[in-house]
């Protein structure tokens, strides 16, 4: 893929970034890990959370090597605290 993707942020990641969604422009062939790296560059405040966060694409948990496709919904999920 190349172009703009939307990343959804939750909990402490959302608070640190000051936004629930962030738009990123990624090069062709970008992966979930590339999106995480671009996010860290754009919002240094959430950098420390990212290594401990899971990533979901289209409601499926993925590893960082997973390639992205146009229109994917990417989500950054810090350690959970439900219950």
Q: Which residues bind other proteins (CB under 8 A)?
A: 8, 10-12, 14-15, 56, 59, 75, 77-83
C-beta closer to other proteins: residue 20 or 27: 20
Quote the CA–CA distance of 8 and 53 in Å, as a whole number. 13
State the distance between the two ends of the chain, measured CA to CA, in whole angstroms.
Answer: 38
Structure tokens at 9: 């942020």
CB of 80 to other proteins, least distance (A): 6
Quote the CA–CA distance of 30 and 71 in Å, as a whole number. 13
C-beta closer to other proteins: residue 29 or 79: 79
CB of 4 to other proteins, least distance (A): 21
């Amino acid at each position: 893929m190349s172009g703009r993707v939307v990343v959804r942020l939750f909990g402490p990641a959302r608070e640190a970034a000051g936004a629930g969604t962030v738009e990123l422009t990624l090069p062709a062939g970008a992966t979930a890990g590339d999106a995480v790296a671009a996010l860290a560059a754009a919002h240094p405040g959430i950098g420390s959370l990212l290594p401990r966060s899971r990533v979901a694409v289209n409601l499926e948990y993925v590893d960082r090597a997973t390639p992205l496709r146009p229109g994917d919904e990417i989500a950054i999920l810090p350690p959970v605290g439900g219950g």
